[in-house]
């Protein structure tokens, strides 16, 4: 029912069991080059069972290209991706068992009705997919329009029909490329509710988005991609903590203040900015620090939380080349200098320059 790569709606029924405890998505070292352009540059992703995983990045960051590789629609220049432990390029369509979704936008025959399009999808899938059409239309709230031609559907209705098509396959993993983009606020809200509902039913969701608020509302884990590179992967809650936990400190004695801060393990990511110190910490650590500073003889002239919002952090992570040298502040380097291991430490990027 759709072209194999553009606007592809992908999926297969979960007919045979996937390997036990293999994660729904495991990408390692994924690279895609188009001539001079490196669309995806050594991306590692792990989507765990039960995640609502946000793949977040600005336009052109490489989200769609990554998802296409994940679904076996295009061949990586390098690297591997496995779905429930199976590589689509090795085992073919069998890797898509239990996987459904769409990339860019779902495509349907415009001169056929929504229901007829779903019937064609179900016929391709075989099995009991056809019996699920009514329920799928109900879930996406399209039952009243199912007998209308898709040509007359709004953008939001087509998106929802795409999800209905995916649901025919009873997916365990749903891959959605910017499912709410182009929808009006009510359409976005409905799409988010729908995704939450599906996640609540135990479907693992990998969705791409360039909207931080959307990801914030829906996702528990995220990867943030910029110019093909993942600059943060991990818990959204952890990213939020980083955004909220930055403090600025000025005292009457810079040397004592730095020594006291350095001696306290709960004062993290200490940075010097002229006569100010900046660090990450939680509130109890800041309270204890204030006492320690006074006891050590450094009177506090300013101790204030930095107001970096999650949105600021997103921009720091996705708008890179503002450092003094003009170099891109790569998180991996920054996180190493902070003793980071593997996962990027987003606050470390702030040290590389911001806007």
Q: In what order do the strands lie in the sheet with 229-235?
A: 9-11, 99-102, 173-177, 204-209, 52-56, 221-226, 229-235
Helices (H) then strands (E): counts for the chain:
13, 14
Closest by CA position to 198, among listed 11, 21, 52, 9: 52
Check residue 346 and give left, alpha or beta (phi > 0: left; psi -120 to 50: alpha): alpha
Choose between 38 and 290: whose C-beta lies nearer to ligand ATP.
38
DSSP β-bridge partners for residue 229: 226
CB 99 within 8 A of CB 16: no
Q: Which does 57 bind (CB under 5 to 8 A by kind): ligand ATP, Mg ion, none?
A: ligand ATP
Q: Which of 7, 23, 60, 85 is close enough to bind ligand ATP by CB under 6 A? A: 60
13 vs 107, which CB is nearer to ligand ATP?
107
65: contact with ligand ATP by CB under 6 A: yes
Q: How far is the CB of 331 from ligand ATP (least distance, A)?
A: 18
Tell me the C-alpha distance between 145 and 150, whole Å: 9
Q: Name the residue number minimizing CB distance to Mg ion.
A: 64
The smaller minimum CB distance to ligand ATP, of residues 46 and 77, is found at 77
Q: How distant, in Å, are the alpha carbons of 108, 283, 304, 312 from that of 307?
A: 46, 14, 9, 9
64 binds Mg ion (CB under 5 A): yes
CB 223 within 8 A of CB 232: yes
Q: Tell the smallest beta-carbon distance from residue 148 to ligand ATP (Å).
A: 28
Question: In what helix (H) or strand (E) does residue 34 lie, and over which residues does it extend?
Answer: strand 25-34
Among 10, 18, 61, 188, binds ligand ATP (CB under 6 A): 61
Q: How far apart are CB 61 and Mg ion at their closest, in Å?
A: 8
- Residue 37 binding target from ligand ATP, Mg ion, none, CB below 5 to 8 Å by type: ligand ATP
Q: Is 34 in the site for ligand ATP (CB under 6 A)?
A: yes
Report the nearest approach of ligand ATP to the CB of residue 43 (Å).
11
Q: What residues contact 307, with CB distance under 8 A and at least 6 apart?
A: none
Instruction: Work out what residue 182 binds among ligand ATP, Mg ion, none; the CB cut-off runs from 5 to 8 Å by kind.
Output: none
Task: Give the Cα separation of 103 and 179 in Å (integer).
Answer: 9
39 binds, among Mg ion, ligand ATP, none (CB under 5 to 8 A by kind): ligand ATP
The stretch near Mg ion (CB under 5 A) out of 64-72, 228-236, 321-329, 335-343 is 64-72
- Give the C-alpha separation, 284 to 80, whole Å: 44
- Taking alpha carbons only, the member of 74, 72, 91, 95 closest to residue 83 is 95
316 binds, among Mg ion, ligand ATP, none (CB under 5 to 8 A by kind): none
Of 33-41, 147-155, 283-291, 346-354, the window that binds ligand ATP (rule: CB under 6 A) is 33-41
Determine contact, residues 176/214, Cβ cutoff 8 Å. Answer: no
Site for ligand ATP in 206-235 (CB under 6 A): 210
Which region, judged by CB under 5 A, interacts with Mg ion, from 59-67, 120-128, 148-156, 254-262? Answer: 59-67
Binding site for ligand ATP (CB under 6 A): 34, 37, 39, 57, 59-65, 210
């Amino acid at each position: 029912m759709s072209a194999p790569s553009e606007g592809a709606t992908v999926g297969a029924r979960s007919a045979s069991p996937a390997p036990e405890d293999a994660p729904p998505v495991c990408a390692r070292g994924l690279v895609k080059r188009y001539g001079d352009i490196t669309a995806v540059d050594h991306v590692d992703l792990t989507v765990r069972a039960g995640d609502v995983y946000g793949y977040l990045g600005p336009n052109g960051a490489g989200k769609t290209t990554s998802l296409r590789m994940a679904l076996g629609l295009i061949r990586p220049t390098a690297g591997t991706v496995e779905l429930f432990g199976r590589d689509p390029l090795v085992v073919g369509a069998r890797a898509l068992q239990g996987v459904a979704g769409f990339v860019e936008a779902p495509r349907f025959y415009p001169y056929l009705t929504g229901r007829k399009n779903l019937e064609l999808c179900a016929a391709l899938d075989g099995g009991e997919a056809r019996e699920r059409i009514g329920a799928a239309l109900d879930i996406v709230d399209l039952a009243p329009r199912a007998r209308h031609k898709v040509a007359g559907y709004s953008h939001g209705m087509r998106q929802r029909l795409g999800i209905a098509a995916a649901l025919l396959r009873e997916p365990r993993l749903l891959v959605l490329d910017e499912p709410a983009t182009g929808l009006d606020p009510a359409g976005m809200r409905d799409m988010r509710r729908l995704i939450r509902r599906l996640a609540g039913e135990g479907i693992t969701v990998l969705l791409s988005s360039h909207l931080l608020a959307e990801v914030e509302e829906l996702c528990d884990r995220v990867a943030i991609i910029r110019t093909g590179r993942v600059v943060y992967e991990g818990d959204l809650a952890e990213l939020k903590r980083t955004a909220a936990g930055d403090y600025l400190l000025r005292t009457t004695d810079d040397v004592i203040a730095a020594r006291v801060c350095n001696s306290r393990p709960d004062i993290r990511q200490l940075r010097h900015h002229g006569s100010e110190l900046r660090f990450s910490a939680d509130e109890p650590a800041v309270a204890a620090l204030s006492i320690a500073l006074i006891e050590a003889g450094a009177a506090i002239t300013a101790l204030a939380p930095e107001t970096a919002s999650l949105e600021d952090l997103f921009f720091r992570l996705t708008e890179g080349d503002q450092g003094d040298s003009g170099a891109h502040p790569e998180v991996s380097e920054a996180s190493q200098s902070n003793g980071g291991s593997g996962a990027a430490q987003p606050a470390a990027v702030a040290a590389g320059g911001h806007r």
